[in-house]
Amino acid sequence: MVVTNQSQNALGPARRVVVVGAGIAGLMTTLQLGEAGIPVDLVSLVPAMRSPSVCSRSGINAAFDTLGEHDSPRIHFEETIQGGDFLANQPPVKGMTEAAPGIVHLLQRMGVPFDRTDEGFLAFRRSSGSRYRRTAYAGTTTGHQVLRALDEQVRRLETKVAVDEQGVSLVGEPLVRRWEGWDFLSLVFDDTGRCVGIVAQDMRTMDVRAFRGDAVCMATGGSGRVFGRCTGTPLCTGSAVAKAFQQGAIHANGEFIDVHPATVACANRYLALSESVLSEGGRFWVPKDPSDARSPNQIPMRERDHFLERLYPGVGNLVPRDLAARAVFRVCVHEGRRLLNGKTNSDDLGVYLDLSHLPESHLRRRLADVLDAYEKHTGVNPCHHPMRVTPAVHGVMGGLWVDYESNAEGLLVVGSPRNHATNVPGLYAVGEAAYAYHGASRIGGNSTLSCLYGGTLTGPAIASYVRALPTRALDASSSLFDAAESVERDEFERILGQNQADKKGVSPWRIHEDLTEAVFASCTIERDDERLEEALSAIDTLQDKLKKVRVDDTSRCVNQSVQFVRHLGNMVVLARVIAESARYRAESRGSHHKPSCEGRDDAEWLRSTLARHKGSGQVEFVRSLDYECAGQRVHVTDGVDTIWSEPQGRTYDDVGKVGEQARVGQPGGGGVGGRALACEQRGHS
């Protein structure tokens, strides 16, 4: 059911929650709220099946150990923490890894067609950063299948009638209402500073209106378009996150950017080759001779440098993505072995990803969608020719800061209103809009899992928060919402009429191009303070240029130019947060690699980067903060909770050896497997 034109006065007396974003995280949160009897307004820019979550291909991690590899949720936890270079708070990660098998079973019952073995068991494969086959998958369309299943369940809730606090059915008011085609503009606050709704714009009629909500959940995805060269869709601007940041929400760990080492340039984005390609035996390589310009099929095996297998012999091509991307940067830039259309010494970061040594029948059966997509965009059959790939931004580990509540044993308190709460009362965040689960880098198969688990945690948290409120958003003065609507209508008119008399006004598309060039070059694989200063200077210049922007489209319906200008302003703000955070963190950790600060510094930097908006686009960093949640004052610091696993070396060259020690019961070795087994023997699992 899609509601497009309904008077605000027609809203019933139920305590509604506004969920912004209809991807995997938003749908799971909505489903949990609906099952708890909390009515939801689901606001999204596009229909659910067009959300960026549909591009998730790799699968979902869950330690079932049906293959007899001695895997466990504890080892999954250890690999997640190590993959994130020990910068993720451990109670939420432990809760996620322990809940993962149950989540996969839940999705099965919803109808997700996971691949199976010949015996009928769930099929699993390895993903980057993992030693075990624990990634459940539905071909290479896992995100699409999960979205479809969740979307069907939410549509079921749309047919149910909301019930008020006295148990009276509110005829004509569905439990879930969808508002598709609405772009988030801003948050609405009451006189006490509590978030009581949002303002959004209908992108068909350009109507601006407020949505009341006793709580608001941001599930708006990542911000890859800030970098231009990214695998996300054009929707991944991070605009909603940037706006919430400007309205008082803390942004955390903005410096950590997930760069995928194997992508292919397409018309409007970069196509990420699923990690299933690596799981099935794909191998990265470059010619050993930098001047070798032969076709890749003409280069014999002995003259190929399989650099990941050389650098990380324990896991080879399945190291975490930040290490793989850094290795690509190393061979292309520092060793001068770039590729472009089979020729070397170009300005691009290109290497080969090879599947041609594997049987085509096997590849077509396991990787059909990925191979077809590559062949469609390049005209090259990857079963017979090595694929030319290049790194591109795949996502972000940073996002809105969110809290959690754990007990003395380090276990999450499920249902606590603090779970996934931001520092803004009444505002929650989940999915890639939040920073919670990945630390400094994320391992393959955990991204979709974190969105699903985050939704199962956020729904009950919001339900607890809403039920503890002494007053409802519907009791707030209508003048608050009228004023918020008026501000956004004036902003729409300003952008529409800005510089129309100046026929040489600056193009917003050119500003975006300049922004992406500055940020991608300085804030992705390798950083140094000098280039970050240059990027910040460029951001200052672009901030001034925004005042000279002129839109060519001045129509008052389906005007995407105005929308892009609005998102562009927010992208500039977010770019500053990313660059300032990268300059602020004086160490190398995970995806944040500063050669001038070689190595991890746990004595000083075992903490999250907490950024606060100062006004005029400026950023300040805080070490602690206080906020109010469900009538309680909460004090938190930037220190990382390491209750379950003390930080140790993040090495992958001896993973194979450590894995064998774990299997035979030797609790040593200094690696993931040994630590996991030792912890289990101490009774901490």
Work out the number of other CB atoms within 10 angstroms of the CB of residue 319.
26
* Residue 160, phi then psi, degrees to nearest 5: -90, 155
Rounded Cα–Cα distance for residues 105 and 114 (Å): 10
Within a 10 A sphere around the Cβ of 103, how many other Cβ atoms? 21
The alpha carbon dihedral of 529, 533, 534, 539 has a sign of positive
The two three-digit tokens of residue 104, written as one number:
């996969």
Q: Which residue is associated with the tokens 């903490």?
A: 607
Token match 């690509």: residue? 328
Q: Write out 360-389 in H/E/C secondary structure.
A: HHHHHHHHHHHHHHHHHHHCCCCCCCCEEE
Compute the distance between CA of residue 124 and CA of residue 76 in angstroms, rounded to an integer.
14
Residue 198 near residue 189, CB atoms below 8 Å: no
CB 219 within 8 A of CB 26: yes
- Quote the CA–CA distance of 518 and 41 in Å, as a whole number: 38
| Residue 321 is among the residues annotated as catalytic for this protein | yes
Structure tokens at 350: 């290109």
**Active-site annotation holder among 126, 133, 178, 321:** 321
Give phi and psi for 591, each to the nearest 5: -80, -5
Please name the amino acid found at residue 535: A
Alpha-carbon gap, residue 487 to 235, rounded angstroms: 24
In 85-241 the beta strands, taken as DSSP E runs, fall at 124-125, 135-136, 161-163, 169-174, 176-180, 182-189, 195-202, 208-212, 215-218
Task: Look up residue 580 and give its amino acid.
Answer: E
Helical H segments across 408-553, by residue range: 446-468, 478-497, 508-523, 529-545
Burial 86-97 (b: 16+ CB within 10 A, else e): bbbbbbbbbbbb
The letter for the amino acid at 72 is: S
CB 215 within 8 A of CB 426: yes
**Residues involved in catalysis:** 321
